[in-house]
Amino acid sequence: MDFKDCRSMKVVLVSHCHLNQNARLWKCAECPASCRLLVEGLLQQEIGIIQMPCPELMVLGLDRGHIAIRSGLESIPAREALRLLGRELAFQIRQYQDCGVKVLGVLGKNGSPACGVERTSRSDGQGPIDGEGVFIQEFRAELRRAGCELPVIGTMDAEQDAALAVVDGWLRGKY
């Protein structure tokens, strides 16, 4: 398909809580609404934003501070739900790619038991530790199944400039 209109033909996937701090665990929000610098920077570069679902909210609910979140996400039913979320995202990505839209990459949420990329938390809720969150593990597996190769990096709310620098590198063809 040949889209001949004003769209930029560029998108990036962003973790849910970067765009909606209200989904964060109680007392963990770092911004009132969303990571404004990140959002504004992406829009200034005319990059569409795909908001990933919040896996913790979808599987464990909003009031999840009373449980060990990673342990909850590692259960068999939770993993199945996360796999389905990952499969749905991989399908969207494949649709964009098949129609010529450049999917630049994925901005995960370091420190998250679900969306951490380089850093996550332990099953007992302590951390952070090196490693991937449970959703990122399932999502990457679904990307491989769909034949999608994408850079996936972890970001922090306090490091929005660094996230934008990575996106700039993606625009320049650097992974």
Q: Please report the pLDDT score of residue 77 as a whole number.
A: 96
What's the CA dihedral at 36, 82, 103, 97 to 10 degrees?
Answer: -150
Confidence band, pLDDT 50/70/90 cuts, at residue 167: very high
pLDDT of residue 25: 64
Identify whether the C-beta of residue 154 lies closer than 8 Å to the C-beta of residue 108: yes
Q: Residue 102 pairs with which residues in a beta bridge?
A: 10
pLDDT at residue 29 in the model: 59
In this prediction, residue 23 carries a pLDDT of 74
Q: 150 falls in which pLDDT band (50, 70, 90)? A: very high
Residues making up the chain, counted from first to last: 175
The one-character DSSP state at 172 is: T
Mean pLDDT confidence for 138-155: 96
Query: Where are the strands (E) in 43-137, listed by range?
Result: 48-51, 102-109, 119-120, 129-130
The CA distance from 143 to 156, in Å, is: 23
pLDDT in tens, 20-72: 877 776 666 576 778 899 999 999 999 999 999 999 999 998 887 777 888 89
**pLDDT of 75-121, one tens digit each?**
999 999 999 999 999 999 999 999 999 999 999 999 899 999 999 98
Res 125: pLDDT? 64
Q: What pLDDT, on the 0 to 100 scale, is given for residue 28?
A: 67
Number of Cα atoms under 13 Å in the Cβ half of residue 83: 9
Concatenated DSSP letters of 104-131: EEEEEETT-TTT-SSEE--TTS---EES
